[in-house]
Amino acid sequence: MKHKYQIVSDYSGGGNQGVIYTFTFDEVITPTMISNYHDCFSAIFSFDDIQAFTEKKKRLLGITGSGEKLIVQKVPKKGVFSPDYFRDYFANEVKKEFGEDSNKLIVFIPPYALVSSVFSDKTDYYRSFVEGFELGSYKFEKYKKDRKELPTHNVVLVSEDKTAVKHALQEGTAVCNGMYFARNLANEPGNVIYPASLAEEIKKQFAKTTVTIKVIDEKEAIKRKMGGLLAIGKGSVNPPRMIVLHYKPFKKAKKKICFVGKGVTFDSGGISIKPADGMWMMKGDMSGAAAVAGIMLTIAESKPNVEVIGIIPSAENMPSGSSVRPGDIVIASNGKSIEIDNTDAEGRVILADALHFASQYQPDAIIDLATLTGACAVALGMHAAGLFTKNDELAEQLTNSGTAVHERVWRLPLWDDYHKLNESDVADVKNTGGRYGGAISAAKFLENFVDETIPWVHLDIAHPAMPNKSSAYTNDYMTGFGVRLLYKFIKQL
């Protein structure tokens, strides 16, 4: 965690270097309300600021009797007020207000009763404040020569429910640690994170946890007949890996869940090479793998009574004399043959072996995450991941979980009509399905490699995992999308 936290039920001021945040849900500001702020904080406001705040302005600035800066923020009751409001708000504020002259942040958290119609869970509500401070403070500047170390700030959370806030702080710490780990992995360049080094980073991170790590190298992958993973990885000097993380609770587990994350550490497109413009972002084509590593770290810290297996197929998709070619036919570990129509549709090919591997555990559910298709990004934009499943219960659970923590998903069809898109004249299945319904045909391809008796969900996180302008904490770096969503899902099992 970047900051130090104190939880109190009352605060009367102290020192002249703090910033106090208070919130009002009233659309009409009365003189009595302004008077109350003066009575509580000995606050002084300018007449012009009060007038503007009363009429249309959403923010009122003042000075307390002890010299602290006081901010009164008007919270909208409609439109932009969502479960992400305070997370996004403080992710933005932490960049603006924290500095040498503001070493303390005091937040008067509004009573839960005022927001219960939007936040169905009290812990999620209080956690959103903590996540705002932490995610808004994230930077990836380790390679800058003149980088400045991020300062640690003292955050005072003032709440009527100290016990609930303490619990939310503990959860928020575990979730943010997982998201930081996911972000760090996804933001590293391809010359630093490649399949073998990804495995080593994960082993190092989990060394002091109860999570066991198994790494399948290329020799073992050959023995296991993982033809998809080996085919995509053979064009690179960095051979592929399958990384398996396994968490078992101390008590008998309520459920067994498998998370599978696409781990293409750099995707040049292979022989079907991508355009140069924006190719740098393909260092983040392992964001599914990063999310799986991140949620496994959160699980290791929070210790839910659920058995969880994280499976990461990792390869580097590069063009060379040994690369897989368009027209090649490879055999996946479940025995199905795949015609390679386009080497830039590589993620689904390595996931084929991973999903078959996950099926061997006979879990209660398999959920995969992948930056799989530009088609899904075009369809849904930056605000949601695509969700594909035939299991209505899982679809509802993940949709509700995503809404609660603002990592939203939107269900798209997985009808069998779409199987035709992946038909091949020379193999069991082809790795592309044509221009139309591209995200759906990719999901239907994956379906070929999952045990049909196991409930399965595919999440296409192509846009929300990448830097985007949807919030103040997603606009600069790979986002770590999926950690909050999967933690909420596991928590509700």
How do 59-63 and 69-74 pair as beta strands?
A: antiparallel
Active site residue 348: yes
Both tokens of 309, joined, read 């297996």
Cα(264)–Cα(286) distance, integer angstroms: 5
Active site residue 183: no
Angstrom distances, CA of residue 108 to CA of 115, 160, 345, 422: 14, 9, 50, 55
CB-based contact 173:210 (threshold 8 Å): no
| Main-chain phi, psi angles of 225, to 5 degrees | 60, 40
Which residues, other chains included, contact 295 with Cβ-Cβ below 8 Å and sequence gap of 6+?
178, 182, 259, 308, 310, 482, 483, 486, 487, 490
Nearest CA among 183, 218, 372 for reference residue 293: 183
Largest CA distance in the chain: 80
Catalytically annotated residue among 69, 87, 283, 348: 348
Catalytically annotated residue among 166, 274, 390, 411: 274
CB atoms within 10 A of CB 399: 17
- Burial of 300 by CB count in 10 Å (0-12 exposed, 13-18 middle, 19+ buried)? buried
- Active site residue ranges: 274, 348
